[in-house]
Each structure stands twice: as C-alpha cells, then as structure tokens.
Amino acid sequence: MSPRISGLRLPWQAGEMGMTAARASEWRSGRIMKIEEEFVVQVDTLGVVGAGTMGHGVAQVAGQAGYEVRLVDSASEALAVGVGRIEKSLGKLVDKGKLTDEDRQATLARIKTSTDLADLTAAGLVVEAVVEKLEVKRQVLSELDRVCPPETILATNTSSISITRLAAATSRPGKVIGMHFMNPVPLMRLVEIIRGPATEPEAFARVEELTRQLGKTPVEVHDSPGFVSNRVLLPMINEAIFCLYEGVATAPAIDEVMKLGMNHPMGPLALADLIGLDVCLDILRVLYDGFVDSKYRPCPLLVKMVDAGYLGRKAGRGFYTYGEGDRLAYHPADGYR
C-alpha cells in the first residue's frame, strides 16, 4: 500500500481481529470506505489541480470536511488569489455564525499549495479543475497518471467534456471519473458523478461516498456531452442571449421574466455572468460538436463578447457590469448603460 492509504484486512465489526472501537466508529461515519470484500481504504489527503473558481471551491469544502488538501496550480499568482478567496469565503461564514473562527483556522491549515504536480503523490484522490479545454485536461490527466500511484483515482470537474476521451489520456481508465461540482462550490449541494464506460464500480463507490463526506449530494449520470446539467441549462442561456441579440428584450427584462415567471432565483444572463461567458461558450461548442445539432449553435453575440474579453463577473463585465457604482446592462447596439 502507498503511504497515503492505510489498508486493513479486517472484518467490519469492532473487537473482531483487532478492529478498535474508534476504527469501527470511523467506518460507520463513512470516513473509511469499503472498496472490495475484506478491504477498507481510508483517504486522508485530497488533491486539487487548478486554483480557479472551481478548484479553490473544491479545496475549501474538502478542508472544511477534515481532509488534508494539496492545491496545485502552475501559476503561484493563481494560488495566492485562490487562497485569498478561500479566506474571504470562510470569513463570511464566520461572520454569519455558520463557522467558528477555530474551524476557519483549522480549515486553512489543512490546505497546502504547490506549483508541482509531483506533490500530489500523497493524495488518494485528485480532482482536476483546470480550464474547460479537452487538450489541456488530457495533458494534465496524462501527467497525473505518470506521477500518481496506480491506485489513485483521477476525477475531473469537467462540465461537459467526454469522460471517455479524457480517460483515454491515462493508463488507468477504470479509475477516471467525472465529479462535476456546481458554482459556487461551497454553497451548491449537487455533484454530478459521471461514469465512463471503463469506470470501475469500486472507483464510483469511493467517489460517491467521498462526495457525501464533503456535504454534497451525488447524482449518477452517464457519459454524454454536457451530461444532464449543462445539456439542459446551456441551451436556455443561449436562447436568452439570442433574445438579447435579436432585440426581443433588454438583459434586465429577460432575467426578470425568468425570475418572476419561472421562479428562477437568478436570470439566465446574470447566471451566465456568474458561470463565465467563456465557459458557457466552451460548453456550447462541446454540445454542438458532440451532437452535430444546430440547436446548440452558440449565439454570435456570445462569441463576440468572449472575443472582447467581456467574460462576466470575473472580468468585471459581461451582460452586466460589476464593481463600484451603478450596475449597468449591456445593449448590443450601444454598449453599457
């Protein structure tokens, strides 16, 4: 067994063949997971690759759940920003009385950062959360496959890309699986767990149970472009953008219709800004290429805004402006007003 995983050939009841009461308690709580008959495996360390919006969110919830976390990004600046956002998020929870300051400090102490993927050899599971580009993700997974021990599960946070194509970049397709967290990770309970055709049942069981330990609700989905969430959501967002593009209504009007008429907590254009317009475009292109169906064709306005760098909240402007001053809405004919 590798140093990061303690494996015990023990029955499941305390007192039999030396299993302590404490170990049995851990088993019942779910921190020790049954993988094969007569085996339990304890995952103490979780790796995350990518310190952006999704990556630092996953690192935060794992740290809060008591896991040691190794957060890796090729850019030290991105790590500094990611950790800063974790600190800010935890601070808000303390201010709201949902977290003690002691727990905040303990969570931060569990999260270690690095720019070297080799520092993930101690992780029982690694979550890849880099940019939503097939070749970039394949490159990262291939390198993780090289540096991580063979029993390490490689999970990808892709929101649309084929798990099958990503797994093919590794020598362990049975241990590659999708863990699609929702944004913002600390607040959203859903995680789509995506099986590829080669994903082993044991790997799925481990990831499903770990998801629950993170305080999330796992939902099983099979491998298909966009899975369920984005196959349904992104066409709606794209159609809202078309409504703006064609002059059917303004951005605030479109969002108000969907909030008041459909009981959505956030309008589709504001949601697109939260997701990131570049991410929306990437997902729509995956859907369009995967299904070869014109109903997934990205709206030209979306393409134009991404080309202009109007990426949503993270860029300070998208369909709305963000920052100090009045919030302005984008109008295709004459810009923000």
Question: Could you say which of 68, 132, 192, 200 is catalytic?
Answer: 192
Amino acid residing at 28: R
**Burial bucket for residue 202 (CB in 10 Å: 0-12, 13-18, 19+):** middle
Q: Does the annotation count 159 as an active-site position?
A: yes
Distance from first CA to last CA of the chain, Å, rounded? 61
Helices (H), the chain: 21-29, 53-64, 76-95, 101-110, 134-147, 163-167, 201-213, 229-245, 251-262, 268-275, 277-291, 300-307
Q: Does the annotation count 331 as an active-site position?
A: no
Q: Does the annotation count 238 as an active-site position?
A: no
- Residue 90: which residues within 8 A CB-CB, separation 6 or more? 60, 64, 99, 104, 107, 108
- For 65, the 3-state DSSP assignment is coil
Question: Could you say which of 162, 180, 200, 238 is catalytic?
Answer: 180
Question: Could you say which of 159, 160, 162, 238 is catalytic?
Answer: 159
Q: Does the annotation count 230 as an active-site position?
A: yes
Sheet of 217-222: strand order equals 111-114, 68-72, 45-49, 125-128, 153-156, 176-181, 190-195, 217-222
Question: Could you say which of 89, 157, 160, 230 is catalytic?
Answer: 230
Q: Write out the catalytic residue numbers.
A: 159, 180, 192, 230
